[in-house]
């Protein structure tokens, strides 16, 4: 609990924080194909530099990016090593049955690079955008689906409530875990069967408490005149500003450049 995890919003008031969430979401949507489509090192270097620039502009210490992505780096490195070993091709180095091929090294190197850039970009988004802004942006982007009777507004409300209650339920779970541990439950040893049965004192009250919270929440929403399906207005109306147009333009330009380079 003493580490910043991926997906956590960190307030900082940087230019990236101030962008309209919709444009941030669209920029990511433009960046993903750009990263995946470039096949020359120069192109990917450019895209990477662009991402790093945004990281610097986000006003959040680079160390925190590193920290939040650490668990993922480990996974990536493992898959990198496996890729290197199991991609057939011209052997560069042979150690017994292990063969490292030029193709394997190149292929997995590219993959690692691309995924790193994408993860970094995703972190910029979640570090600088509140979950609420994200859902509002999503709701806006998905609003055409309303015509097809997709309950976009209700879905957004559900996501919002889930986001609002993550910290609360996390506290609740933590409190229960500590309380049962102080009564001698050991959640960390024994066979799988034993461990599962030890979860009862944790899971039963957790679920009971979640349901009673949900009950009260439903009541609280009803009190404040919430009705499923009724039209709602919003406090904040999202607005595109010059910086948003600039960001959108730059990202579109990068994608266009990548596509052009590919076509030539």
Partner 1 sequence: MPGPSNILIELESVSYAYPGSKFAALQDISACVGRAEFISVIGPNGSGKSTLARVMAGLLLTSGGRVMINGLDTARPESRQEIRRNVGLVMQNPDNQLVAAVVEEDVAFGPENLGLPSAEVFRRVEEALAAVGLSDMRSRPPHMLSGGEKQRLAIAGVLALKPLCVVLDEPTSMLDPFGRQEVLQVLRSLSKSGTAVVLITHHMDEAACADRVWLLDKGCLLFDAEPAALFSQFELLHELGLTSTSAGELAYRLVEQGFTLPVGIVTMEDMVNFLCRVLK
Partner 2 sequence: MPCIEVEELTHVYYPGTPLEIVALRDIELTVYDGEFIALAGSAGSGKSTLVQHFNGLLLPTAGCVKVLGRAISDKQHRQQLWRQVGLVFQFPERQIFSNTVFEDIAFGPRNLGWDSTTVSKQVKDTVALVGLPEEILSADPRTLSGGMLRRVAICGVLAMRPRILIMDEPGAGLEPATRQLILANIKEIQAQHGMTVILITHHLEDAAVFAERVAVLHQGVLLSIGPTREVLSQTELLHRAGLKAPFAVELAQRLSQEGIPLPSLPQSIEDVAQLLQQLLQTNGARPGGASL
Binding site for partner 2 (CB under 8 A): 1-4, 10-12, 60, 63-64, 175-176, 178-185, 200-201, 204-205, 208-209
Closer of 67 and 153 to partner 2 (Cβ): 67
Q: Which is nearer to partner 2, 2 or 233 (CB)?
A: 2
For partner 1, the closer of residues 2 and 188 by Cβ is 2
Which one of partner 1, partner 2, none is in contact with 130 (Cβ closer than 5 to 8 A by kind)? partner 1
Q: How many CB atoms lie within 10 A of CB 264?
A: 5
Q: How many CA atoms lie within 13 A of 43 on its CB side?
A: 21
Cβ of residue 53: shortest distance to partner 2, in angstroms? Answer: 21
The minimum distance between CB 109 and partner 2, in angstroms, equals: 31
Residues near partner 1 (CB under 8 A) are 130-132, 160-161, 163-164, 167-168, 171, 213, 216-217, 219-227, 230-237
Shortest Å, Cβ 199 to partner 1: 24
Tokens of 219: 């009541």
Nearer Cβ to partner 2, position 90 or 182?
182
List of residues 6+ apart from 23 with CB closer than 8 A: 240, 244, 247, 248
Query: With CB cut-offs between 5 and 8 Å by kind, which of partner 2, partner 1, none does residue 185 bind?
Result: partner 2
Cα separation of 62 and 69, whole Å? 11
Could you tell which of partner 2, partner 1, none binds residue 228, using a CB distance below 5 to 8 A set by kind? none
118 versus 132: smaller Cβ distance to partner 1: 132
Shortest distance in whole angstroms from residue 187 CB to partner 1 = 25
How far is 178 from 1, CA to CA, in rounded Å? 13
75 versus 220: smaller Cβ distance to partner 1? 220
By C-alpha distance, which of 114, 117, 8 is closest to 54?
117
Say whether 54 sits in a helix, a strand or coil: helix
Evaluate whether 146 touches 152 at the Cβ level (below 8 Å). yes
* Residues 213/170, Cβ–Cβ less than 8 Å: no
Q: Quick one: 141 or 210, whose CB is closer to partner 2?
A: 210
Distance in Å, CB of 213 to partner 2, minimum = 11
Token pair 């995703």 is at which residue?
A: 122
Beta bridge partners of 93: 100
- Cα 38 to Cα 105: distance, rounded to the nearest angstrom: 18
Tell the smallest beta-carbon distance from residue 113 to partner 1 (Å): 35
The C-alpha atoms of residue 177 and residue 206 are separated, in whole angstroms, by 10
Q: Which does 167 bind (CB under 5 to 8 A by kind): partner 2, partner 1, none?
A: partner 1
* In the complex, minimum distance from the CB of residue 194 to partner 2, in angstroms, rounded to a whole number: 13
Q: How are beta strands 91-95 and 98-101 bridged, if at all?
A: antiparallel
């Amino acid at each position: 609990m003493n580490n910043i995890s991926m997906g956590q919003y960190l307030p900082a008031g940087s230019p990236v924080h101030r962008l309209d969430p919709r444009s941030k979401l669209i920029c990511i949507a433009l960046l993903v194909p750009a990263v995946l489509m470039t096949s020359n090192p120069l192109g990917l270097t450019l895209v990477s530099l662009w991402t790093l620039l945004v990281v610097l502009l986000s006003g959040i210490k680079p160390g925190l990016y590193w920290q939040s992505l650490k668990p993922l780096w480990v996974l990536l490195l493992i898959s990198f090593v496996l890729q290197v070993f199991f991609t057939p091709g011209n052997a560069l180095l042979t150690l017994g049955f292990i063969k490292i091929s030029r193709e394997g090294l190149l292929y997995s190197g590219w993959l690692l690079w691309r995924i790193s850039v994408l993860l970094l970009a995703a972190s910029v988004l979640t570090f600088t955008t509140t979950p609420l802004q994200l859902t509002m942006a999503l709701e806006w982007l998905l609003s055409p689906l309303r015509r097809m009777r997709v309950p976009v507004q209700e879905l957004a409300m559900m996501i919002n409530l889930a986001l609002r209650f993550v910290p609360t339920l996390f506290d609740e779970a933590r409190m229960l875990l500590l309380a049962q541990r102080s009564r001698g439950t050991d959640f960390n040893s024994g066979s799988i069967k034993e461990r599962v049965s030890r979860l009862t004192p944790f899971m039963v009250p957790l679920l009971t408490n979640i349901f009673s919270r949900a009950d009260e929440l439903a009541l609280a929403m009803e009190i404040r005149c919430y009705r499923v399906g009724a039209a709602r207005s919003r406090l904040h109306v999202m607005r595109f500003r010059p910086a948003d147009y600039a960001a959108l333009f730059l990202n579109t330009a990068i994608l266009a450049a990548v596509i052009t380079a590919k076509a030539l």
